[in-house]
Structure 1
Amino acid sequence: MTRSTSGESTRTPPRGRVSPAPPPDLVAAPGYGARRLYQAYLAAWSRHVDAVLTGPQFAVLSAIRAYPDADQTALAGAVALDTSTMADVCRRMERRGLITRHAAPHDARAKVLELTEEGAAALAEVFRRARRLDEALLEGCPAELRPHLASLFNDLGAHWEGVAERDEL
């Protein structure tokens, strides 16, 4: 701290510490923007929606509600999770009592997922908070463009997943 000529204390930045802007080539890269969006979304989710139930867990609970007879592998595709991540997410939610897993009637190796009463209640509560977050995140966007923006994000996600699967660029 330093004192101004009027005797008031003022804060001075620490010597040698600079907060530079991101380089222009980084700002121009779509992946950088996507990562910033995702990091900001995770922080907002944790603070305003649920610090324990993650976005992927919420997505799985939503998919179980939407597709009650679907198996774990099919639901993994619906929520854009690879099967090993899906299995891990489901194990954690099963331990917490949010879902149950049982063998599918058509294939004993496949696991059908069901919401428990606790899982349905958690989903209902988190759903309300998640929709409030969605509104806050898009409040600067005109209401008539919001569905288009969500569609654009999903289309980009599908395209980028395809790019990731290519053998070469």
Structure 2
Amino acid sequence: MADKTPDMTPPAQPAATSPSEAAPTALAAPDVLRTAAGYQVRRLYQAYAGAWLRAVGQTLTGPQFAVLTTVGASPGNDQTSLACAVALDTSTMADLARRLEDRGLLERRTAAADGRRKLLFLTPEGERALQTADARARKLDERLLERYDSADRDRLLRELTALADDWERLGSDL
């Protein structure tokens, strides 16, 4: 007499025929990328931008924070000077300043001697937003640099600054 027990064996799955059909695995960047300074800088920036968003929040972006910090340190300077100080092009700076003004964080005043120049000042709301963001940004910096002692932090920041300065000069020469 034949066995009447139903076959409970799952049907065989066809073998994957290409890497895209296989189960996803972490793919390492090729050596040509891992050894490229620009690739590592982009990775570093992506990681920092994500950490900024989580730690500082969505109230101020990094560039907005830089502008408000610089305006707070040097109120009454013009947009062009501030753009240079925070490494933004003038059109980006003008748009960013307009958006900060629309949010009530920044005041733009026309220079008396030159109607084309816009002088920037923090509003009381801008000072409060900057104070809150600054405290969070300082905590983020501490967390990011906690593995370095004071001397190594100073050396790292000097090297990063020199690298940024060199790359900015290189970019203007191209």
TM-score normalised according to structure 2 size: 0.84
Distance 1:32 1:128 in 2: 30
Identity of aligned residues (%): 49
Find the counterpart in structure 2 of residue 15 from structure 1: 22
What value does the CA root-mean-square deviation take over the aligned residues? 1.3
Q: In the TM superposition, what are the counterparts of 1:16-55 in structure 2 within 5 Å?
A: 16-55=23-62
Q: Which has more radius of gyration?
A: 2
2:124 to 117, 127, 137: 117
1:97 aligned residue (101, 104, 113): 104
Q: CA offset at residue 152 of structure 1?
A: 1.4
Deviation at 1:81, TM superposition (A): 0.4
| Distance in 2 separating the partners of 1:35 and 1:105 | 42
Q: Distance in 1 between matches of 2:95 and 2:107?
A: 14
Alpha-carbon offset, residue 54 of structure 1? 0.2
Alpha-carbon shift at residue 52 of structure 1 (Å): 2.7
Alignment length, in residue pairs? 154
Q: CA deviation at 1:164?
A: 1.3
1 or 2, which has the higher strand percentage?
A: 1
Letter of the structure 1 residue corresponding to residue 63 of structure 2 = P
1:111 Cα shift?
A: 0.2
Q: Mind listing any 5+ residue stretches in structure 2 that lack a counterpart? A: 1-20
Q: How much has 1:51 moved relative to structure 2?
A: 1.5
Partner AA of 1:50 in structure 2: G
User: Which TM-score applies when normalising by structure 1?
Assistant: 0.87
Unmatched tracts of structure 1, length 5 or more: 1-13
Letter in 2 for 1:26: L
> Which of 152, 161, 171 is 1:154 aligned to?
161
